[in-house]
Amino acid sequence: MLALLSNKVPTRALAVHSPGITHAATVPLDSPLKSLSDLKDQKVLKRPAVVGTTTGSTNHFGFIAAAAYLDLKENQDFTLRSTPPGDLATGPKGIDVYTI
């Protein structure tokens, strides 16, 4: 989150998951998504959300845990896009939710 703020990327937190380490799922300021549960059944975006995450990272696993808790299904409610940490810090285009 600090990288996004220091890069002046207009963003807001969507969810935070903390098993001793703080992780966040963030969205662009103009996103219609208000919570991770908005991804369920494509009710807001009318398509699976694209989630940018660094594959194998703790924020990746934090998102997977939150998705499982909310009964979100990969390829139905969201798709994962492996994204390097530096790219996530700039608020990349084409990604609806990015994990940090």
Taking residue 6's Cβ as centre, other Cβ atoms within 10 Å add up to 9
53 is in which domain, residue-wise?
2-99
Average the pLDDT over 73-91 and give the result.
88
CATH number at residue 77: 3.40.190
Integer Cα distance of 63 and 99 in angstroms: 7
* DSSP per-residue letters across 53-84: E-TTSHHHHHHHHHHHHTT--BTTTEEEEE--
Average the pLDDT over 13-23 and give the result.
62
Q: Is the pLDDT of residue 7 over 60?
A: yes
Number of domains in the chain: 1
Q: Give pTM, 2 decimals.
A: 0.77
Residue for token pair 């959300």: 49
Taking residue 93's Cβ as centre, other Cβ atoms within 10 Å add up to 6
pLDDT category of residue 87 using cuts at 50, 70 and 90: confident
Q: pLDDT of 41-73, one tens digit each?
A: 999 999 999 999 999 888 888 889 889 999 999
pLDDT of the residue at 95:
93
